[in-house]
Copies of this chain bind each other. A is one copy, B any other.
Amino acid sequence: MTGIAIIGAGRIGQIHAANLHQHPLAEVVCVSDVFDAAASRLAEACEASVASVDELLDDARVEAVVIASSTDSHAELIRRSAEAGKAIFCEKPLDLDVAAAEQSLSIAAKNDVLLCLGFNRRHDPSFDAIKAKIDGGQVGDVEVVSITSRDPAPPPVEYIGRSGGLFRDMMIHDFDMGRWLLGEEIVEVFAYGGALIDDAIGKAGDVDTAVAVLRTGNGRLCQITNSRRCSYGYDQRIEVFGAKGMVRADNHTATSVEVASKDGFTTDEALPFFLERYRDAYRLQLDKFLRVVRGERVNIPLGIDGLQALKIADAAQQSCDEGRPVRV
């Protein structure tokens, strides 16, 4: 059993805790949160104790920490965890600031601890199968990756303000997927964005609709479309086109049911949001993290992946602001 501490008992922390609680190789040792009640509730649910960050870093049973607290606490928690020699799983983003993210990576390296990043989508069985088919040669040389990512409804405008903006908060997942599936570093980005859904988002200085195009050093391309609102559920699709063919993953639905009537043939809407769509991905993500901690060689996104995606997001934001392509 690998002892784990969970820092952050919010929505994401709860998902991680439940997955770890059910995992035969993990033991949730303790839970920490700035709100005591939240920590207690989650600790009880996974038969763990409540602990402060000091206490959990000091606890020899804790081999690894899962950081699911607010973004502005990530850098400090990574630093302290690294110095305490704990393996680290950190939710995305590492930080909203590239310099801080770089420092997190160097501290983890200096202390020789594992720093994994919560890019959950890489673990989705459908997207993972796309990657496997690329690696297996079924697509041939990859030429264009197309990613569609639409949330069901915008977050509260208060959240928008501290989110870092659509590119760093939402499209960052797609930047990581594009980079991963292209198999090369992105060298330049161009992005258009606007507040087509809600003026309040525009007044808060952000966009709610955006498209971006990415280019690698070898001229491979990626196009991404994001929207903060989608009537038919959480729209999550990827298509990879190459010399030998194309592979795509369509949305997932709750059932395989189709209704036929005079209005045509109707299937379910897409699954509502990330908790449903990426249920398996969240579970598999921590399973892989555990296996890496225990010494297996498993592919899993690391700190460097979080850093690279953040750099692309910064470039996209700048491109959108200045109306020109920006080098990463």
Contacts and interface: CB of A to CB of B under 8 A. Distances in A.
Interface of A: 22, 125-126, 129-130, 133, 138, 140-141, 143-144, 146, 148, 150, 190, 192, 194, 196-197, 209, 211, 213, 215, 219-221, 223, 225, 227, 229-232, 235, 241, 243-270, 323-325
B196 A220 contact: yes
A245 B258 contact: no
A125 B247 contact: no
Given A259-B246, A260-B269, A268-B264, A196 B231 contact: no
A250 B256 contact: yes
A144 B227 contact: yes
Nearest to A237: B256
29 contacts: A22-B22, A140-B231, A144-B211, A146-B146, A192-B219, A194-B219, A196-B219, A196-B220, A197-B243, A225-B241, A227-B241, A230-B246, A231-B244, A231-B246, A231-B261, A246-B259, A246-B261, A247-B257, A247-B258, A247-B259, A249-B256, A249-B258, A250-B256, A250-B258, A252-B256, A260-B270, A263-B269, A264-B266, A265-B268
Given A192-B213, A264-B269, 11 more contacts: A22-B22, A129-B255, A129-B257, A138-B261, A144-B225, A192-B215, A194-B221, A250-B258, A260-B269, A263-B266, A324-B324
A133 B22 contact: no
A255 B144 contact: no
Given A150-B241, A190-B190, A144 B209 contact: yes
A225 B146 contact: yes
B227 A245 contact: no
Copies of the protein in its oligomer: 4
B260 A231 contact: yes
A132 to B, nearest CB: 9
Looking at A141, A213, A220, A253, the one whose CB has the most chain B CB atoms below 10 A away is A213
A221 B244 contact: no
B265 A266 contact: yes
A262 B235 CA distance: 12
Contacts of A223: 211, 213, 223, 225
Contact of A143 (B219, B227, B267): B227
A138 B259 contact: yes
A261 B249 contact: no
Nearest to A247: B259
